[in-house]
Amino acid sequence: MQLQLPIQYPFTWNNTSNHTRWSPYSSFFPKPVNNDVGQQPKSQTASTQTHIQSHKSQAAIRYGPLLGGAKERTLGNQISAYISLSKPRLSALVLVSTGIGYLMTPGPVDGVKFTSCCVGTGLAITAANTYNQFIEIPRDAKMSRTTDRVLPSSQITPNEALVFAALCTVGGTTLLASRVNFSAAALALVNIGLYGAIYTPLKVIHPINTWVGSVVGAIPLLIGWVGATGEMSSGGWALFALQYIWQIPHFLALSWNLRTDYEKGGYKMLSNVDPKSVAPQCLYWSLLMLPVGPLCSWAGFIDRGFAFDSTLLNGTMVYYAWKYYKEEGNENNNARALFKCTIFHLLALYGLMGLHKALVREPVIRVVKNLFSPIFGKWISSGIECTCDLSVTSNAPLQTTRVQRSQSHMNHFTNSVSDVRISRNVQVEILGILKLKYSEFSS
């Protein structure tokens, strides 16, 4: 007797030398057709196909990879699957945000502490992403955009994902607590809980999930700031506001072209619950980006020029949001254009912050010194060394007055210039000019 499966079945028949049996999914699917008895009626075949599709994800979740349908569990495939589980593109943005939050603080950069802060936060966001995907396995299996993720496709079992998330949670928070500070570790732990326990369930309850999820996306900047300073001061909150406001039009524009898929998965997003409100909300939150630059300058961690330059850059985001709001009948293309604009806008904004931040000039100058000192000799090297010393002192505590900071710069230069290999006459001339300028400024 020869047994044959209908071609619609998503699994393979398992033939052995001693017997023929069903795969572990047999409890979900009808029995095979005996060709000696006769062919299955067309109506029954259609019913079988619908039955299979409705239970396909349940079988994968309950029993693991489909026989013959999943990737072979080699070491390379498993490593690739765990990398995909961490959502590498989203995690990369989180790492950049954490680094920006750290570098924007006043004072020198501790390389070990900076690296530990970024790696610890990266592990924490990997854990949060894994918990999120574990909870959403049944819904991801229904959406065309997410059906190939590692958990719905059973490249990794749910138990393996939970163990991986737990290890990342412990590793990330331990690294932050031991190498950075407890405040950064606490923020990372709160962010994991906020992502998994509040944001993820809200996605199937109310469109406000986008606003809650934006808090999760803005906390890494705060972690970077707290990791460097140990406190949540005005500069950290200004960076938090920048990232939070930016995310609203970014995710609303993204969700517009995915609204059908979200509805299929059972998610309550603004794009499929109240589509007419998406464009006005995008415009409103894009306009709120305009005062972010002045807010950062007011916080004191960046110069006043950023207030002007960032406003011009934020204007491009407002333009695309306005175009999306005004042009009816072309919403899909305009939403896609706004989404792409927000990505380049954030990267450009980060770059602009780096150009305006006085601290960023110091490592750049050291790189220039290392490159050109062998060519131009010790004179150029010494001059750059003086510049480096002055650039470090430009980040004096914000609480001091301008006169006190100038006096601090003067004292630091007086102490450090003697270490530079230039003639005594040049030192006296430089110090004389600085003292004259300082006396004019302080008077």
pLDDT digits (tens, 9 = 90+) for 269-298: 999 999 999 999 999 999 999 999 999 999
What are residue 171's DSSP bridge partners? Answer: none
406 lies in some domain: yes
66 lies in some domain: no
68 lies in some domain: no
119 lies in some domain: yes
Residue 346 has pLDDT above 90, yes or no: yes
In 115-187, at which residue ranges do the beta strands (DSSP E only) sit?
none
Say if residue 28 is exposed, middle or buried (CB neighbours under 10 Å; 0-12, 13-18, 19+): middle
What does DSSP assign to residue 195?
Answer: I
Closest to 160 in 3D by CA, of 169, 151, 149: 151
65 lies in some domain: no
Residue pair 100/242 in contact (Cβ under 8 Å)? The answer is no
**Domain harbouring 131, CATH code:** 1.10.357.140
Q: 250: which residues sit within 8 A by CB, 6+ positions away? A: 339, 342, 343, 346
What is the number of domains present in the chain?
4
Whether residues 350 and 368 share a domain: the answer is no
Whether residues 227 and 107 share a domain: the answer is yes
Closest to 13 in 3D by CA, of 67, 93, 83, 70: 67
237 lies in some domain: no
Whether residues 104 and 226 share a domain: the answer is yes
Share of the chain above pLDDT 70, in %: 64
Whether residues 206 and 295 share a domain: the answer is no
Whether residues 206 and 185 share a domain: the answer is yes
Q: 22: which residues sit within 8 A by CB, 6+ positions away? A: 14, 32
Residue pair 180/116 in contact (Cβ under 8 Å)? The answer is yes
Q: What is the pTM of this model?
A: 0.67
pLDDT digits (tens, 9 = 90+) for 223-270: 999 999 999 999 999 999 999 999 999 999 999 999 998 988 899 999
Whether residues 259 and 215 share a domain: the answer is no
424 lies in some domain: yes
Whether residues 302 and 195 share a domain: the answer is no
Whether residues 217 and 294 share a domain: the answer is no
Residue pair 116/95 in contact (Cβ under 8 Å)? The answer is no
Whether residues 92 and 223 share a domain: the answer is yes
Give the integer Cα–Cα distance in Å for 95 and 249: 21
Task: With cut-offs at 50, 70 and 90, classify the pLDDT of residue 366.
Answer: low
Whether residues 209 and 331 share a domain: the answer is no
Residue pair 223/181 in contact (Cβ under 8 Å)? The answer is no
What are residue 148's DSSP bridge partners? Answer: none
Whether residues 187 and 301 share a domain: the answer is no
Whether residues 380 and 407 share a domain: the answer is yes
Residue pair 340/320 in contact (Cβ under 8 Å)? The answer is no
Dihedral (Cα; 324, 330, 335, 336), 10-degree rounding: -140
Enclosing domain of residue 330: 245-356
